[in-house]
């Protein structure tokens, strides 16, 4: 029977003693995880292209190796580069140069689920997917705790994949946050669904609410602050993550707010939204989104560039700048 979760007792960072771990990619996730591992007395090296992230890794005192060296010397390779770069890295630097029995770790299930990765048959594969950004991973570790993560032992050819993967989790601090045994397929599909339904729904709701309230004569600054910019919404969501969605709402919102939500929740989610929800998931599961993303990447993200360009002089950007004149938002 598949384990639902891995216990902290199963995790022992000392199993990494004598092992060389390479973090490939020193971005938001890479830096946090590498620093935590080093502070846990793990032998960590960094591989990154020549950019500001590489300069930061050097400033942080890490030993830097080239992509060509990574698989020759590493017992554990942690891929913390963007999903779209996985295939190129594995094909160019990993397939013909890897150590037999080494462990390849993915921080997200996307590449394993949707990309055509030609991973050698004689290596272990695991997914360790944290549920928080790098800052929280680092801060929680420094406070003596950790954040939760999804773990999948994808392929165990050495017989030691689970032990080493959980040792990595222990070194980063995920073992203290909680480790759920989740397949890379489920992680990838649900994660993409959140990004393609929940997130667009929020952004669209804010943009259209700002426009409508402006047309009805309400202050842009007031609307912007009430919608999200005060930080109140983020604080409530944090409390939901700590105490539960309904508990946090019941104990942190006024009766007026609670009644407002309760009286409108069934009306606001119209049938068309349900159709869009189904469409979003179907498009992900079928692989249609992955094909579109591959084309988008090959063209250097024209849709993404247009998204930001179209909003450079938006009502929201203008309102935020106006608010920052009066309120210190960093």
Give the catalytic positions in this structure.
Answer: 108
Q: Which helix H or strand E contains 113, and what residues bound it?
A: helix 110-114
DSSP label at residue 98:
P
| Stated length of the chain | 330
- Whether residue 307 contacts residue 317, with contact meaning beta carbons closer than 8 Å, is answered with no
The whole-angstrom separation of Cα 188 and Cα 192 is: 6
Tokens of 23: 């973090």
Tokens of 160: 């030691």
Which of 190, 192, 194 has its CA nearest to residue 202? 194
The whole-angstrom separation of Cα 100 and Cα 98 is: 6
Q: End-to-end CA distance of the chain, in Å? A: 50
The whole-angstrom separation of Cα 203 and Cα 164 is: 40
Tokens of 304: 């993404």
Print burial letters for 304-318: b (CB count within 10 Å at least 16), e (below 16).
Answer: eeeeeeeeeeebbee
Please list the residues that pair with 106 across neighbouring strands.
Answer: 79, 127
């Amino acid at each position: 029977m598949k384990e639902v979760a891995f216990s902290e007792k199963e995790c022992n960072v000392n199993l990494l003693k004598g092992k060389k771990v390479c973090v490939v990619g020193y971005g938001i996730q890479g830096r946090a995880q590498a620093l935590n591992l080093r502070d846990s007395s793990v032998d960590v090296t960094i591989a990154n292209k020549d950019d500001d992230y590489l300069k930061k890794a050097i400033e942080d005192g890490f030993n830097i190796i080239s992509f060509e060296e990574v698989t020759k010397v590493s017992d554990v390779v942690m891929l913390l580069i963007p999903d779209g770069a996985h295939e190129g890295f594995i094909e160019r630097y990993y397939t013909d140069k890897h150590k037999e029995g080494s462990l390849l770790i993915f921080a997200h299930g996307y590449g394993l689920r949707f990309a055509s990765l030609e991973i050698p048959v004689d290596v272990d594969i695991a997914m360790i997917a944290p549920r928080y950004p790098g800052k929280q991973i680092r801060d929680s570790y420094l406070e003596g705790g950790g954040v939760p993560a999804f773990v999948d032992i994808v392929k165990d050819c050495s017989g030691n994949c689970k032990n080493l993967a959980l040792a990595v989790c222990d070194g980063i601090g995920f073992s203290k946050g909680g480790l759920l045994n989740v397949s890379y397929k489920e992680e990838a599909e649900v994660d993409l669904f959140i990004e393609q339904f929940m997130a667009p729904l929020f952004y669209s709701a804010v943009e259209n609410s700002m426009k409508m309230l402006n047309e009805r004569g309400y202050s842009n600054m007031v609307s912007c602050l009430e919608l999200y910019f005060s930080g109140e919404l983020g604080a409530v969501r944090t409390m939901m993550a700590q105490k539960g969605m309904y508990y946090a709402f019941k104990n942190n919102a006024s009766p007026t707010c609670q009644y407002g939500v309760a009286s409108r929740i069934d009306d606001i989610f119209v049938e068309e939204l349900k159709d869009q929800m189904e469409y979003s998931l179907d498009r992900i599961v079928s692989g249609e989104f992955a094909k579109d993303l591959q084309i988008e990447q090959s063209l250097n993200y024209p849709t993404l560039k247009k998204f930001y360009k179209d909003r450079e002089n938006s009502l929201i950007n203008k309102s935020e700048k106006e608010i920052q004149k009066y309120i210190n938002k960093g």
